[in-house]
Amino acid sequence: MIRQISIQNSSAIRNRIISNAIAGKAAININQQNSSTLTRQPRDFLDKIFSPDKCGKGKTHEGILAPPKGIVKRAVIETTTSYDGTLYSYPTGQAKFSLLEITIPPRTTLGSHSHPMPNIGYVVSGSITLVNDANQERKTYFAGQAIPEMVNTRHHAETYEQCVLLVFYAGVKGQALSEPSNFTKSDNDSQK
């Protein structure tokens, strides 16, 4: 015997039913009239009826927001190490996150520096070459690529065209983003 209860536009009751369904106590069918029907059926039934287009307001049966139609989500980078293979670890203290947009002119060398915390860059436009000062290993990143920066390792950067970066730093309050920050003049500055 299957018992059905129809609920019209009651968000509190609807949310309780959805919570029970997610916990595996019941399955829910949401029809296009924005009403819910509670039925005692197996949990895998949810996978068949709870798709983003049937749930309304972008909800899925997992209780997370589904992206609206036309939106594409991709992981640009997921890593536990910097590009030289060093494992990331967080500094201790009050967390402070920083996101910088950095525009670097063409033919510019950013001086030797290091970062005391994990940080990831994203090349919005142009390209940039990072050079490990210890072994002179070079790695070039282009528009659309992410840079898992080195931590506590001296390096410098070079551009041959204008480069726009977004850089996210996971540091702590009072901590400098780089040590030291010595920038050399670009070739363009010497032509003035």
Ranges of each domain in the chain: 5-55, 95-187
Between CA 10 and CA 17 the distance in angstroms is 11
Q: Per-residue pLDDT for 33 more than 80?
A: no
pLDDT value at residue 155: 94
* Contact (CB, 8 A) for 39 and 3: yes
pLDDT at 66: 62
State the average pLDDT over residues 125-141: 96
* Across 3-32, average pLDDT: 48
- For residue 34, the Cα-to-chain-centroid distance in whole angstroms is 33
Confidence of residue 57 (pLDDT cuts 50, 70, 90): low
- The CA distances from residue 162 to 108, 159, 168, in Å, are 9, 7, 20
Q: Give the model's confidence band at 18: pLDDT under 50 very low, under 70 low, under 90 confident, else very high.
A: low
Calpha distance 85→124 (Å, rounded): 24
Fold classification of 95-187 (topology level): Jelly Rolls (2.60.120)
Q: Is the pTM of this model over 0.95?
A: no
Mean pLDDT across 119-132? 96
Which position has the higher pLDDT, 148 or 64? 148
Cα 176 → chain centroid: 23
Q: What is the mean pLDDT of the chain?
A: 74
What percent of the chain has a predicted confidence (pLDDT) above 90? Answer: 48
- Give the model confidence (pLDDT) of 64-104 as tens digits: 556 677 888 888 898 999 988 889 998 899 999 999 999 99
Q: What would the pLDDT profile of 38-50 be if each residue is shown by its tens digit?
A: 444 444 444 444 4
Distance CA 163, CA 138 (A): 17
